[in-house]
Amino acid sequence: MTVHPTNLLNLTPAEAVTTLRAFAVSVGEAPYRGSQVARRLWESPASGFDAMSELPADFRARLAEHFTMPRLALTSEQASTDGTRKFLFSLADGQSIETVAIPDGKRLTLCVSSQAGCALQCAFCATGAMGFVRNLEAHEIAGQVRELAFLAEPIKPTNIVFMGMGEPLMNWPAVDTVLTILNNPAGFGIGARHITLSTVGWLPGIEALEARKEQFRLAISIHAPSDALRATLMPVNTKFPLEAVIERAARFSRRVTFEYVMLGGVNDADEHATALAALAKTCGAFVNLIPLHPGGSMGFVPSPPERIHRFASRLKAANVEVAVRRSRGLDIAAACGQLRAERLRRRTPGLAHDDSQVNETA
């Protein structure tokens, strides 16, 4: 009988340590040997069992027979003059995913992907245009953080945002595990309030997030203050209409953030600001205005800066807290799905004129 090896990086830290301690005992080692291995998954990552020189060689060999701890292949990296860095990873089945690191003072935010492609087809989003390929496994999401610890100058994020490719709340079982890995002191030890999930308003996923006791942050992509307009931008609006999303957001136990991408001549008029302010007040939400990234944005044009400013002022005048995201990495293609899309088009990376909006409001 061949036993399928267990991927240790798909387990929560608690599951991994239990499994590994029991395994150590089963091969005649002391239980603490299992704990030693568990520490090398996330806290002090090892590139493989061979690299765990603190363990006896025969124990390492037995581990390798029963377990895996796969790496992601870093296939491309680009650095912006503003310090933003973008990484493209290749997965075991050849799929590519993006991760973006954004330094901002003492903070270093990592924007991770949760799916290869995306099923939701938001009209302005490059990932949507690719279509859905598959959900990422927990180790492929958490692995984006883990891999950066192996760089010659390791990157240690202080904040994580699920704003890369994919809809995290449509991949809940894996994302659930990843949240534990990110937050747990035996994982990456990143505070729950420094971890933000961004969603189109996938209601079953919001319930699942709400059921967790930690204070993970929720950001909702609103993008339009009426059903009619939102349906033209976000097909998911027919499944979960704006009204239902707002009703759920208003009941969420923690403060939510609204994301609102500024599309010139589409959703940036004064009356949109007035309507958005009313929705934000219903939910006590913080509003993040996102300048559109022109690259791959399918015919949409960014709102002019003065328009964004005026829109923000109207929200403020209505006593809504609002921030305009700064565009980062203007010289690299860092927006949702744009690096991968660009690769698929075989364009020269240097020609990209997109930017990265990814940040956090905390």
Binding site for ligand SAH (CB under 6 A): 122, 124-125, 163, 167, 198-200, 221, 259, 261, 290, 292-293, 297, 335-336, 357
Cα distance between residue 275 and residue 266, in whole Å: 14
Residue 167 CB, nearest approach to ligand SAH (Å): 4
| Residue 63 vs 222, nearer CB to ligand SAH | 222
| Residue 78 vs 221, nearer CB to ligand SAH | 221
Active site residue 98: yes
Of residues 111, 118, 283, 336, which has the active-site annotation? 336
| Residue where the block lists tokens 């009941």 | 251
| Residue 44 vs 232, nearer CB to ligand SAH | 232
For 40, phi and psi rounded to 5 degrees?
Answer: -85, 0
| Residue where the block lists tokens 């390798």 | 64
Residue 99 CB, nearest approach to ligand SAH (Å): 13
Active site residue 122: no
| Residue 163 vs 339, nearer CB to ligand SAH | 163
Helix residue ranges per DSSP H, the chain: 13-26, 31-39, 57-66, 126-130, 138-147, 172-183, 203-211, 227-233, 242-251, 270-283, 305-317, 338-344
Residues 6+ apart with CB under 8 A from 299: none
- The alpha carbon of residue 101 and the mean position of all alpha carbons in its chain are separated, in whole angstroms, by 11
- Measured CA to CA in angstroms, residue 115 lies from 33, 98, 317 at distances of 34, 10, 38
Residue 161 CB, nearest approach to ligand SAH (Å): 8
| Residue where the block lists tokens 């309507």 | 275
**In sequence order, what DSSP letters do the residues of 224-241 get, joined into one string?**
-SSHHHHHHH-GGGGTS-
Residue 356 CB, nearest approach to ligand SAH (Å): 9
Of residues 29, 98, 140, 360, which has the active-site annotation? 98
Residue 299 CB, nearest approach to ligand SAH (Å): 12
Q: Are 252 and 282 in contact (CB under 8 A)?
A: no
| Residue 19 vs 113, nearer CB to ligand SAH | 113
Q: Which residues are catalytic?
A: 98, 336
